[in-house]
Structure 1
């Protein structure tokens, strides 16, 4: 009996060992280090792959060789990287491995996205139905519908500085209880009749709104005959007197910056010299994101110029641009469709060859032309593309903008001489004094106070 029992045990053990050995053999055949697989893809397709070694070292890929698609390096990379929630982007001719980004995909995916969107509408009637759906959703997703009650405090204005053909005064507006936005208002030196208004939302460029090119374009807009305004991003510039710069990356920054833009426009259009029928907006990078969104949700805007930001495959990587679920409206949308919501009003997209806007000529512009075509207004959507330039709002882009606003806002292009502009020092542009000594007593400070206010006004739950 014992002998039979031992024989049975030995048989069972031999089967288990054989199974384990076979499993180990199969596992070793199909599982390989990720780094080895990437090297094989480089060799097979003759490409270069960049990556942070900390992301790759020690990672084991199951069914590794089965994931290789011999007809496509990109499809192979998608299959190989997906199990780790990684993706790739093109970086100076090399494939760069990155962690998954909700805000950025590839040009190929952008095309698929636009192809999908075009199945939703084929004429003006079906497009207007889609547009109405988005227009109802976007403000709610951004938490600006209903709009929080505006504080009753008056705008804070500094004395005007007079320059060649224009003036500048700094301002501070309490846009939410204890939360201020600061900026500068540029006006023509001599105002006769009504002036157009132009918003210049800032992007994530170094030195914020104090930088030379931001001052340059606002001053020229004023010299040309417009009331022009520039202001700080949330938790940038003078906003740092209230909030640490890390709070700029809160999702709620997306809402705060939208509220700031709306409140500033409210103030400007209430000025007796403002022409409410001529309202422009233009900004680069994150300012381009705000340009497209404000143009989509605020019917008061009549001319839109998004700069180095129009794309079907990138919606802005900073939470201040895409932290709220606006791009999930309508079952998913993108910045090309949001820009299309401005049709048939005049719009100029300024793009370049070294960022995500590089695809506009062949991808997003034809899509926008089709939407504008529903209104018989193809000529109202324009693109000036700078294939050798990068991500900025540089001289050539400003020159194109000046021509466009002269044409569509009735401004004097002869006054677009940047040599006449005086570039101010940062301290001259402060609304609260050189060291913030004039910050109002009710101004809140810090994350806890911020979150409490945002909860009280319904921006966050």
Structure 2
């Protein structure tokens, strides 16, 4: 054999060895399609698994069947799905569906497991108070509230009042950070001639924001009942978009600004005439429900809370403005049910429904929260209004549950809004066009000259750097 043939022989031998090793590995690593292994899991555990979105198509896994843990369906599914950043959700009918991994969402049964674990952490009031203190300190740090610059001393920008039957409205722009304004509307009893309770209503992720009809109805009725009510925009929603474009709403800093908005609106309200800071409520739905819980947990001035369609052990909000700061990692893991429980022993109404992530509240989250109230001997101060046939909104039935609760615990006059039949009547409320609710003019022409419009500089105020990158719109 000459040298040239020898080289070919070596190459062929190496190829054969490599192929042989690969074949050997293939023969012993038990690789197979994930879908086949899930079919086996269905047979072993007598369950139905639905990949309705085709997430398993083309996916194969080494040692697939070896990952099945006999007698433990949850571990088996996790072993199979986790390598692909997939997870399972158990449905009410007992079937399982496959979904992409999301840090803010797990299945109801997982939520139940987490609540069961949390109950082992505290069985006495002293244990709970220590846990609550730890959670609060961590939430403050996670939100970055401890690094927030002082609130500027500029005067709030207020529009002329519009006066309606038994209430008035004025719009407000409050500088809560240098060049950063929270925008909203203040509803007051009219005439305002005595000390009045305060109610904050952080906006949620509903169409038209704080301009929508159901928000105006709620704020006006509460004002008629005797409360000073402040409805305010989410970060990078409504008039806030004059400063920060809509896409920045999904920056994690949005959650910090929104919490700070509520706190600093309370700071301002504490300075106005006839504001009774011993009676302070907060209520909001959806994303506003998240911030209702956050404010109630963090600001001791809150005396009554009513989070709407948001209290859940298995869902913490799909928007970074709710879950982007990692507050649910506090205390080695918490959830909105436990954050809601931090309101104890103050009065709290939890509003839930049957067609979103609050569907299990009566059987799952509410008993867990009520347990915390029991540690104080105040079981009756937390209530649940559940609407099994309704969906994700702040509709009329939910408002009708809210009004008497707020009246009872904030000393409001329910008779002011009742008709001759004793029914709460919202029909006398004037629904304003959104242009009337602007504080900075129809086209933002009155926006202060110092208004910040740079999201990077907003992060810098908190000693942070913006790591989120956006596509440039053309």
Deviation at 1:443, TM superposition (A): 1.0
Matches within 5 A, 1:372-411: 372-411=373-412
For 1:257-406, list aligned pairs within 5 A.
Answer: 257-406=258-407
Residue 454 to residue 219, structure 1, CA distance change in 2 (3 Å): same
Count of residue pairs brought into register by the alignment: 451
Alpha carbons 2:49, 2:98 under 8 Å: kept: no
C-alpha deviation, 1:17, in angstroms? 6.3
Structure 1 residues 41, 419: CA separation in 2 closer, same or farther (over 3 Å shift)? Answer: farther
1:397 and 1:149 mapped to 2: Cα distance?
37
Shift of 1:39: 6.0
Structure 1 length normalisation: TM-score? 0.90
The CA distance in 2 between the partners of 1:307 and 1:163, in whole Å, is 27
TM-superposed CA distance for 1:110, in Å, is 1.6
- Matched position secondary structure for 2:136: helix
RMSD (Å), alpha carbons = 2.7
Q: Please list the CA deviations of residues 305-354 of structure 1 after superposition, one character each: whole Å capped at 9, or x if unmatched.
A: 01111112221121101111222222222111111111111001001111
Give the deviation of 1:453 after TM superposition.
Answer: 3.5
In structure 1, which of residues 426, 437, 440 is the aligned counterpart of residue 448 of structure 2? 440
Distance 1:69 1:263, change over 3 A: same
**Aligned residue number for residue 62 of structure 2:** 62
425 and 90 in structure 1: CA distance in 2 versus 1, 3 angstrom threshold: farther
Contact 1:281 1:301 in 2 (8 A): yes
Deviations 1:17-45 (A, max 9, x none): 66544433334xx2223345556667885
User: Which residue number in structure 2 is paired with residue 458 of structure 1?
Assistant: 463
Q: 1:417 aligns with which of 413, 422, 425?
A: 425
Equivalent in the alignment of 1:31: 31
Deviations 1:394-438 (A, max 9, x none): 111100000100111111112142111111111111111111111
Aligned to 1:84: 84
Q: In the TM superposition, what are the counterparts of 1:105-254 in structure 2 within 5 Å?
A: 105-254=106-255
The alpha-carbon deviation at position 381 of structure 1 amounts to 0.8
Larger displacement relative to structure 2 (310-319 or 57-66): 57-66
Indicate how the Cα distance of structure 1 residues 11 and 175 shifts in structure 2: closer, same or farther if over 3 A, else same: closer
Question: 1:75 Cα shift?
Answer: 5.2
2:472 corresponds in structure 1 to none
Distance 1:245 1:75 in 2: 40
C-alpha displacement at 1:78, in angstroms? Answer: 2.8
Alignment of 1:86-101 (within 5 A): 86-89=86-89, 95-101=96-102
In the aligned structure 1, how far is the partner of 2:13 from the partner of 2:242? Answer: 77
* C-alpha distance in structure 2 between counterparts of 1:13 and 1:329, whole Å: 54
Question: Judging changes above 3 Å, is the alpha-carbon distance between structure 1 residues 11 and 259 closer, same or farther for their aligned structure 2 residues?
Answer: closer
Change (3 A) 1:300 1:460: farther
TM-score computed with the length of structure 2 as normaliser: 0.88
In structure 2, list runs of 5 or more residues that go unmatched. 418-423, 467-474
1 or 2, which has the higher helix percentage?
1
Q: Output one character per residue of 1:56-102: Cα deviation in whole Å (capped at 9) or x when no partner.
A: 33322222333456767665433321110111335786644322111
Separation in structure 1 between the aligned mates of residue 229 and residue 464 of structure 2, nearest angstrom: 28
**Separation in structure 2 between the aligned mates of residue 250 and residue 273 of structure 1, nearest angstrom:** 37
Query: Equivalents in 2 of 1:42, 1:160: separation in Å?
Result: 65
In structure 2, do the counterparts of structure 1 residues 246 and 329 end up closer, same or farther at CA, with 3 Å as the change threshold?
same
Decide whether the 8 Å contact of 2:38 with 2:49 is kept in 1: no
Whether the aligned pair in 2 keeps the contact of 1:177 and 1:453 (CA below 8 Å) is no
CA distance in 2, matches of 1:232, 1:169: 14
Q: Is the 8 A contact 1:302 1:345 kept in 2?
A: yes
Give the C-alpha shift of residue 135 in structure 1: 2.1
- Distance of 1:162 and 1:222 partners within structure 2: 12
Q: Which range moved further: 362-371 or 16-25?
A: 16-25
Q: 1:199-242, CA deviations, whole angstroms, 9 ceiling, x for partnerless residues?
A: 00111111111111111110111011100111110001111111
CA distance in 2, matches of 1:268, 1:454: 27
The alpha-carbon distance between structure 1 residues 107 and 195, as it changes in their structure 2 partners (threshold 3 A), is same
